[in-house]
Amino acid sequence: MRDVIVIGAGGGGPVVAKELAARGLDVLLLEAGPRHGKVEQDWSHFEDDQNNLFKGALRWGPSSRAKTAWFRETPQRSFINQVAGVGGTTTHYFGNSPRAMPGVFNDYAGPDAARYDVAARFPFGYAEFKRYYRWVEQTLPVQTAAMGTKEEVFFRGCEGIGLPVQTGKDIVADAFRPQENAILQPQGNAGLTRDAALLQYPQARGCTYCGYCYQGCSEPLKSPANLKAKRATSTSYVPMALTADLWSPGGRAATLVAHAFVTKVHASQDGGQLVARGVSWRDTETGLSYTEDARVVVLCGGCVEDPRLWLNSGLPDPNGWVGRGLTDHAFDWVTGIFPFDTGSSKGPASACRADFPGLGGLENVGLPPGLQALTAGYSDSGIRGSYKLGLGETGAWTGPAGRVMGRELKELMDNVNRVLNVLVLTDDDVEASNRVSLSQIFPADEHGAVPRVEIGKRQRSARTLSNRRALANKAAQILKAAGATKVIRLDFAPFMLHVQSSMRMGEDAATSVLDADAQSRWVKRLFIADNAALANSCGGMNPTLTTQALATRTAERIFQLCFGGSAWVGRETPLSSVDDRVTQAVLARGL
């Protein structure tokens, strides 16, 4: 019997695995997707090869791309942008690691408190949670982003509309700032040359400004796995978990099994309480099935797969909130075309932002040509055409919102370094109608009934829609102030990359699945430690840092509640994943 089984090696699962393995527990980490071998052979800069929505390396599906992706039912126009494999969706995130806004926690008493979704706050205070933020920020590590031309242009636009500079990590007023991101700073030759021979480790360390953040990260070439620039969990927490016996006194190396799609969580009665006992999984390559017992089970399969697994396992749902309350930041996309070079495709993809408490946030996103063209065609408002169709909303942008086609697409793509993109991240309300359930239309696959994901404009609150429009207007104003001659608003259909809250913790037992310890209210020793556990949309902030801080807190609670251990966060100093001791452990184990 294992001490702990963690389901999912994406953004949250490896955090739990590393923290508990470092304290001597026997941890099994199961991942449905593949574990990529030598990073430099698995990642490439070929955009279609990596990012094709159906057959790219970074998709939700089996390792063999000759096989179809794993299916989800989506009744609305939308795309669920998740990745199967060790590291999960952190393999193509931009490393952005801002803290959630204080207004989404239950200790917030600012004058603007009513602007937030007060019915869906975190069931603990921001003051308490900051120590977990600090722990993760040092472990990854999180640093102020390296910046270049596109950030200078964005900042000029922010100054042009009268925004002040934000100098701290706690966001309580409208302001702009560099991103805090989990990408190692350029060192040596990094950022100073385009000569590939001079951009290899150890001559170069950290970010080499290649511009391909969205599709994994193999930079700098020849570096140990834990020194790759972007701090996906596959290059930070996973190597630490697998070498915990080498760098942590009393630690025990976690066991990682890839191609392990968990199909059932087992639970049984004990003293009148339902208690988690273990899991069954299917090897996606051989088709063989396995079962293993554990004292604690932790779900980290993501906002879609966590409720699917719960429901397919026949676990209780007495208040009907399993799978409900899904938030996704109601993304939108605003692009400016400029008469000068913005350097949009160069360097870390997203290194600056502006935040508006109660509304959400905006961040610059630079993309290589293929992805830039892909975003231009993704809309919920039809084709912009000649501006005469009038299908999309109008505002501070040029013409109605909508999809870019024809001559306008050629104009947009004439030079990828003469555009500047702004991603809208809305502080969207927790709505019961936004949900993950089991499909009643499509047949089950080899892993059980498939999930149905419902989210769209008709399920969004008036506040969410108002926030989205207000932020799109601010984005257009920033781009115009920065010198854009044309501003295009896409009006994205749901692009579910930031998904949260489908198995949410909360203050009210009637509208939440988890208690304040992230333990299930109805199945003891069953915890959730990924984005699904988040109480809300974090105020519109990128969720990964908050998920990882919450996963750290959850690991600490598991150690205390289930194994008689003591708290460590705030009393110990975390070890950075790029510390020399970790590097030596990674090299010794041949990871």
Residue 7, pLDDT score = 98
273 to each of 267, 270, 329, 522, how far by Cα in Å? 10, 5, 36, 8
Residue 221 CA to residue 231 CA, distance in Å, equals: 15
Residue 278 CA to residue 270 CA, distance in Å, equals: 14
Which residues on neighbouring strands pair with residue 96, listed in sequence order? 181
Q: How many CA atoms lie within 13 A of 260 on its CB side?
A: 22
Residue 373 CA to residue 497 CA, distance in Å, equals: 18
Per residue in 411-437, pLDDT (tens digit) is 999 999 999 999 999 999 999 999 999
Buried b / exposed e over 96-109, threshold 16 CB at 10 Å, is bbbbbbbbbbbebe
Closest CA to 262 of 240, 241, 239, 292: 292
Strands 143-144 and 180-181: antiparallel
Residue 388, pLDDT score = 53
Residue 390, pLDDT score = 56
Query: What is the residue type of 225?
Result: A
Residue 179 CA to residue 350 CA, distance in Å, equals: 7
> Residue 540 gets which letter from DSSP?
S
Percentages helix, strand, coil for the chain (3-state, rounded to 5) are 25, 20, 50
Q: How many CA atoms lie within 13 A of 512 on its CB side?
A: 24
Q: How confident is the model at residue 308 (pLDDT cuts 50, 70, 90)?
A: very high
Which residues on neighbouring strands pair with residue 266, listed in sequence order? 278
CB 403 within 8 A of CB 377: yes
Closest CA to 149 of 420, 363, 336, 339: 420
Interhelix angle 149-160/462-482, rounded to 10 degrees, is 110
Per residue in 260-301, pLDDT (tens digit) is 999 999 999 998 999 999 999 999 999 999 999 999 999 999
Q: CB under 8 Å to 166, separation ≥6 — which residues? A: 173, 175, 176, 177, 355
Residue 483, pLDDT score = 98
| Average pLDDT rounded to a whole number, residues 1-28 | 98
CB 57 within 8 A of CB 42: yes
Q: Which two tokens stand for residue 502?
A: 């489908």
Q: Rounded to a whole number, what is the largest CA-CA distance in the chain?
A: 71
Residue 478, pLDDT score = 98
Residue 338, pLDDT score = 98
Per residue in 465-475, pLDDT (tens digit) is 999 999 999 99
| Average pLDDT rounded to a whole number, residues 190-202 | 91
End-to-end CA distance of the chain: 26
Q: Which two tokens stand for residue 214?
A: 């969205």
Residue 457, pLDDT score = 84
Q: How confident is the model at residue 39 (pLDDT cuts 50, 70, 90)?
A: low
Per residue in 372-390, pLDDT (tens digit) is 999 999 999 888 865 555 5
Per residue in 100-156, pLDDT (tens digit) is 999 999 999 999 999 999 999 999 999 999 999 999 999 999 999 999 999 999 999
Residue 386, pLDDT score = 53
Q: How deeply is 396 buried, as exposed, middle or buried, from its count of CB atoms within 10 A (0-12, 13-18, 19+)?
A: middle
Residue 518 CA to residue 534 CA, distance in Å, equals: 9
Closest CA to 548 of 96, 70, 80: 96
CA torsion sign for 24, 27, 33, 37 is: positive
CB 86 within 8 A of CB 35: yes
Residue holding tokens 């509309």? 161
pTM given for the model = 0.97
CB 395 within 8 A of CB 375: no
Interhelix angle 126-139/544-563, rounded to 10 degrees, is 100
Residue 567 CA to residue 72 CA, distance in Å, equals: 39
| Average pLDDT rounded to a whole number, residues 496-525 | 97
Task: State the Cα torsion 493-499-505-508 to the nearest 10°.
Answer: -10
Q: CB under 8 Å to 504, separation ≥6 — which residues? A: 120, 321, 325, 430, 511, 512, 513, 514, 532, 533, 534, 535, 536
Per residue in 531-540, pLDDT (tens digit) is 999 999 999 9
Per residue in 437-478, pLDDT (tens digit) is 999 999 999 999 999 999 988 899 999 999 999 999 999 999
Residue 580 CA to residue 68 CA, distance in Å, equals: 41
The SS3 of residue 82 is: coil
Q: How confident is the model at residue 158 (pLDDT cuts 50, 70, 90)?
A: very high
Q: How deeply is 249 buried, as exposed, middle or buried, from its count of CB atoms within 10 A (0-12, 13-18, 19+)?
A: exposed
Query: What is the residue type of 269?
Result: Q
Residue 334 CA to residue 491 CA, distance in Å, equals: 8
Is the pLDDT at 36 greater than 90, yes or no? no
Residue 167 CA to residue 246 CA, distance in Å, equals: 38
Q: Is 323 left (phi over 0), alpha (psi -120 to 50) or beta?
A: left
Closest CA to 57 of 42, 79, 72: 42
Residue 511, pLDDT score = 98
Q: Where are the domains of the chain?
A: 2-182+206-253+326-433+453-589
Which residues on neighbouring strands pair with residue 143, listed in sequence order? 181
167 to each of 173, 177, 325, 370, 588, how far by Cα in Å? 11, 7, 33, 35, 40
The SS3 of residue 214 is: coil
How many Å separate Cα 275 from the centre of its chain?
A: 30
What sections of 366-496 are H helices per DSSP?
369-376, 406-413, 462-482
Instruction: Kindly calculate the radius of gyration of the chain based on its CA atoms and give it in whole angstroms.
Output: 23
Q: Which of 64-68, 225-229, 276-280 has the lowest mean pLDDT?
A: 64-68
Q: How deeply is 245 buried, as exposed, middle or buried, from its count of CB atoms within 10 A (0-12, 13-18, 19+)?
A: middle
Q: How confident is the model at residue 330 (pLDDT cuts 50, 70, 90)?
A: very high
